[in-house]
Chain A
Amino acid sequence: MAGAALSVATVAALTSCVQVPDEGAVVEARQPVRADQTQAPGNIPPPPRPGADPAEIVSGFLDAMTATPLQTSTAKGFLSTQAQTDWRPEERVITYGDRSPIRGTHHVVVRLRGADQVGAGGQWQGSVPSAGRRLDFPMVREDGQWRIAAAPDALIVPRDFFDGNFTDAALYYFDPTGRILVPEPVHVPQGSQLASYLVRDLLRAPRSVAGSVTQTFIPPGLSVNLSVPVNHKVAEVNLKGSDPGPLAAGVVKRMLAQLSWTLRQDTTISAFTLTIAGRAVTDASGASRFPVDSKAFDHYDPAVEVASGQAYALRRGRLVSGQIGRPTPVDGPFGRDPLGIGPFAVRLDGNEVAAVTPTALLVGPVQGPAPASISRSGTGFLRPAWDFASRLWEVQDTPSGAEVAYAAHGKWHGIRMTGLTGKDVRRFLVSRDGSRIVAVLRGSEADRIVASRIQYDVNGRAVGTAGTHLIPWVSTGTKRIRDIGWTSPTTIAVLDQLSPAKAEVRILDVDGSTPPEQAAPTLVSGRVRGLVTSPVDKPYALQQNGLIDISPVDVNKQIQLEGFHHVTYAG
């Protein structure tokens, strides 16, 4: 027994020597080299050169802001200690085409030419006012070196840098009724920071100009927790701020739809996770990882996913429909008899037609025995437009100028639109989401394109317009716009008949950010009657003997279609 006890004690003593280590040498970890995920060329500008004069400092400061990936720490090195604290480059982005020579010692001045600006939320704000094109840089000496004592609160970069390193994107909000997504164009840095900027800007409240144009379902008071990293094509949207508490399923669904539609523009993202104030958000199914191309949010598509993909036209005064190039007669009132209609618009679901006659605006079904009816009598009606809510928009040219009205549930409502009402409107478009109206105004020397946001109340009743602005357009031909049409929810195609033998089509951003001289035109030979476009379908130019494909893929591909007029898509 003594032996056994002794042996047990020995075993216990020896085993006590076997313990988890709690100290040891420092060992370097072997970690795989992390591949650079960004393929774009990088640029790290040099810091201030010792002994540099004020002009060199300002020049270096402007160059340092062109760092890629985008960062401002190098640029801050050119500022004085106080200026480093005060400088807010995130306030806006100023782009310029050219700049004056840099001169001055204690006060350096730089003048910008062709300067435009982008707001803090990435929205295009157009040209910089003339006063803002002069940049003043008071200089100060610190530790024997010249430094900038105060710099404009902006990231100031050349236009070519902006075009190469910023990308056009859209933030997706909802219309005031919460039924459809409304894109808001923004310009944000591309690359690894794209998702972070998109989410950051999405979290900002919709611009005041669109205060009743859009709404967001993302709870207020949240901000991005440092960034939105993308790991293995999954974006981690981590929002900090006050905990909003449990959210209704409808709110969560729409919030996820906003993020999904916004983040799918970053091609490196296939899905995302969402955390709000440390709590993971799940959808109704309990999932916490959301594919950005989820079909669950397609019915919020601002291009109206369920819209008819058919093309419609008039042949011998009768309505026909079908695939492009293969139209067949319809058996509705406009297909059975020639009612003397001209321009027309088909409701997005493809079931109803609004057509203009010289004396009235007729409405009738596309198919079926029901007759057409006069919805509105009068003259000077322009080609009408339908939006997702089956609102029928019409602009009537009257002696006092254009009058804008829309019909909802068979009842017409007049609405005064700043920039359109009373003007000489020759053509107008209403976006399928109903948030935008774009019109061609006849000018004495040249036509102009204006865009306005349509404001609604929560019941979907249009209450006015806001944010009317010009979409820059420069003609090299007749200066008259023959036609316009949507090519996406945020871009339009503009048709200009340069000469009897040649026409051009330019694609312009609806926010006016496309420099007119840089909008690459698509040239079409011959005389073009109009455009056949929609936000989702292939665009064509309508000629007398057929259609010319003006999409970048099959440009100038011709489809024979003689004897057809007013070819159009639904909407």
Chain B
Amino acid sequence: MVARTVPETLRRGLTFWRRSIQARVVVSTVLLSAIVVTAVGWFLLRQVEHGLVDRRVDAVLTEVASENDEGNARLEAALGTDTDAGDQSRDFFNSVYANGLVRGFHVVLAGPGRAGEPLQQRGIRFTSAGDVPSVPQSLVDHLDATRKTAWTYTTLVQRQNGVLRSGPGVVVGTTITIPADQSKRTLYYLFPLDDVQQTLALVTRALLTAAILLLALIAALTWLLTRQIVTPIRLARRVAERLAAGQLQERLRVTGEDDLARLATSFNQMATSLQRQIRQLEELSRVQRRFVSDVSHELRTPLTTVRLAGSVLHEARLGFDPETARAAELLQTELDRFETLLVDLLEISRFDAGAAVLDLDDVNLTDVVRRVVDGTRSLAEQRSTRVVIEAPDTPCVAQADVRRLERIVRNLVTNAIDHAESREILVTVAADDQSAAVAVRDHGVGLATGESAMVFNRFWRADPARARTSGGTGLGLAISLEDTHLHGGWLQAWGKPKEGAQFRLTLPRHAGHPLRHSPLPLVPDDAAEVVA
């Protein structure tokens, strides 16, 4: 359940991310702001930390200098006739210790020792148990070597309320001379940096809080700003979608006088203009289609009369002189073409009027192809070409209107025979679970670049000078395309000059199901080989 939910959530999130400018702008702004705030905050904290620590260290060194002065004065003032160095050392430590209790530092007084020798082995006095480990050996060694006052950072271990706690600190080491025996002792002052740490923590918390609030403010501001900008755009998108869907009366609501209001006004003006032009075009198209339909219908009655008269003449042509007989035959042929043209025009008109409907049935495409090929065999023979069928043994069944399907296939085969230039034509049938397809491949003149998209235009000719030998009206492929669309299928063309062409019809095996792929390639394998 979880495994299924997470990818779903992720997918939805990604979809939301892709589709929402507002989300992208807000997140991007917040991220960039976070980077800047982080950098600035880190820089500020570093500055504050350096400032606090440096100031504390300066104060510590000043205090130690003062303590040293006091201590040296105390030692210089010691009784010259005193001979008890231990007593003087103890008194000196006690005075510094007392100062430390008041001024907030600990102290370690160590006797003379050899280089590298730990303090614990030198005889030490200290304020509390954690003081001695808090003195770094490096500082001890430095004082052993130079006898000069030096300091370093350290980790102080101090007992507070009975609990040992460690924290940062500064330890300053210096050397004193006990007057009684002129022996050198090392004195370490240990100052905690807890106050600095607490101040730094306070500043850090304040900066973090400020950063969070700032980021929240930036996010809110960005969200608000983008919302003010994106909302009109989103409304414009919706209106544009409705306009695109044909709802040409949709308009944006115009409020205010700002740029977005002017954009909405301009958008509305554009929509109005488009609506007017589209309606004009629709009206023109409707008038044109009506005109064509009307003309076609109106022509049918006189054509029937003319055809009856033509048939009489044609049947009586044997009794005519040869020229008259030939004219009667030509009249009959052109009357056939005229009738066919009228039929096609009426069919196109039905498509344009949206009156075309499907009469679906389970149709084996292989059977259709065989019937069409058989029906066009005489034409093929006339063109000295041969139509070969390549179909699987299993039926390639699809839900289709068999009449329209046969018309599509016949148009494709006839078209191929027209352009095959006496070369063999291959008709391939294939099917899979989702779709069934028929591909008609010829090796004739082929199609130039860009012509594959134009072959389905009405009355389009690749070479206007080339005569229609098959008796086509120039509407066959257009009608085939409309038939294919009526089925929810694809009708696509491929061609190359001198390499022939291939038309592929793909239909969903079940009416209404969307097509996702075709079982046959649009580009024939032999063409691919040539390309390769």
Contacts and interface: CB of A to CB of B under 8 A. Distances in A.
Same assembly: yes
Contacts of A24: 152-153
A337 B88 CA distance: 69
Nearest to B87: A226
Contact of B76 (A3, A7, A22, A69): A69
B152 A31 contact: no
Nearest to A25: B152
Nearest to B48: A18
Contacts of B34: 3-4, 6-8, 10-11
B61 interface: yes
Chain B CB within 10 A, most for which of A4, A8, A236: A4
A34 B91 contact: no
Contacts of A89: 81, 83
B146 A28 contact: yes
Nearest to B93: A226
A77 B216 CA distance: 78
B30 interface: yes
A259 to B, nearest CB: 15
A130 to B, nearest CB: 25
B70 interface: yes
Interface in B57-101: 61, 64-65, 68-70, 72-83, 88, 91-92, 94-95, 98
Contact of B37 (A11, A189, A229): A11
A86 to B, nearest CB: 10
Contacts of B49: 18-20
A315 B167 CA distance: 87
Interface in B176-208: 179-182, 193, 196-197, 200, 204, 207-208
A8 B211 contact: yes
B415 interface: no
Contacts of A74: 182
Contacts of B138: 25-26
A72 B80 contact: yes
B152 A231 contact: no
Interface stretch (A192-200, A247-255, A397-405, A506-514): A192-200
Given A18-B49, A20-B168, A29-B150, A87 B83 contact: yes
A27 to B, nearest CB: 6
A530 to B, nearest CB: 44
A29 B191 CA distance: 15
Nearest to A120: B81
Interface residues of B, number: 72
B78 A227 contact: yes
Nearest to A91: B81
Interface in B101-153: 136, 138-139, 142, 146, 148-153
A32 interface: yes
B178 to A, nearest CB: 9
Contact of A8 (B74, B81, B182, B215): B215
A339 to B, nearest CB: 58
Contacts of B151: 26-27, 29
Interface in A1-15: 2-4, 6-8, 10-12, 14-15
Contact of A226 (B95, B146, B204): B95
A193 B27 CA distance: 76
A14 B77 contact: no
Interface stretch (B38-46, B315-323, B376-384, B416-424): B38-46
A15 B169 contact: no
A238 interface: yes
Contact of A72 (B38, B81, B208): B81
Nearest to A197: B79
B313 interface: no
A155 B83 CA distance: 12
Given A11-B41, A15-B208, A24-B153, A196 B72 contact: no
Contact of B81 (A37, A90, A195): A90
Contacts of A11: 34, 37-38, 41, 208, 211
A154 to B, nearest CB: 9
B154 interface: yes
A3 B35 CA distance: 11
Contacts of B68: 31, 34
A478 to B, nearest CB: 43
Nearest to A195: B77
B296 interface: no
A278 interface: yes
A90 B180 CA distance: 12
A226 B78 contact: yes
Contacts of A20: 49, 52-53, 168, 193, 196-197, 200
A189 B82 CA distance: 13
A28 B149 contact: yes
B215 A26 contact: no
Given A11-B34, A73-B180, A229 B73 contact: yes
B204 A18 contact: yes
Name which of B38, B98, B208 has the most chain A CB atoms within 10 A of its CB: B38
Contacts of B477: none
Contact of A7 (B31, B53, B70): B31
Contacts of B76: 37-38, 69, 192-193, 227, 229
B179 A73 contact: yes
A18 B180 contact: no
A20 B202 CA distance: 13
B146 A29 contact: no
A29 B182 contact: no
Nearest to B78: A227
Contacts of A238: 95, 98
A465 to B, nearest CB: 32
B501 interface: no
A75 to B, nearest CB: 9
Contacts of A195: 77
Contacts of A226: 74-75, 78, 88, 91-92, 94-95
Contacts of B65: 29, 31-32
B132 to A, nearest CB: 17
Given A26-B138, A76-B83, A90-B82, A18 B200 contact: yes
Residue from A31, A189, A227 whose CB has the most chain B CB atoms within 10 Å: A227
Given A18-B200, A231-B73, A155 B81 contact: yes
Contacts of A278: 98
B448 interface: no
A417 to B, nearest CB: 36
Contacts of A227: 74-79, 91
B281 interface: no
A50 interface: no
B42 A229 contact: no
B155 interface: yes
12 contacts: A4-B216, A19-B49, A27-B152, A38-B76, A70-B80, A72-B81, A89-B81, A90-B83, A225-B95, A226-B75, A231-B70, A275-B98
Given A15-B42, A84-B83, A189-B80, 4 more contacts: A8-B34, A19-B49, A20-B200, A21-B153
Interface of A: 2-4, 6-8, 10-12, 14-15, 17-29, 31-32, 34, 37-38, 67, 69-74, 76, 84, 87-90, 155, 189, 192-193, 195-197, 200, 224-231, 236, 238, 240, 275, 278
5 nearest CB pairs, A to B = A7-B34, A70-B80, A226-B91, A229-B73, A227-B77
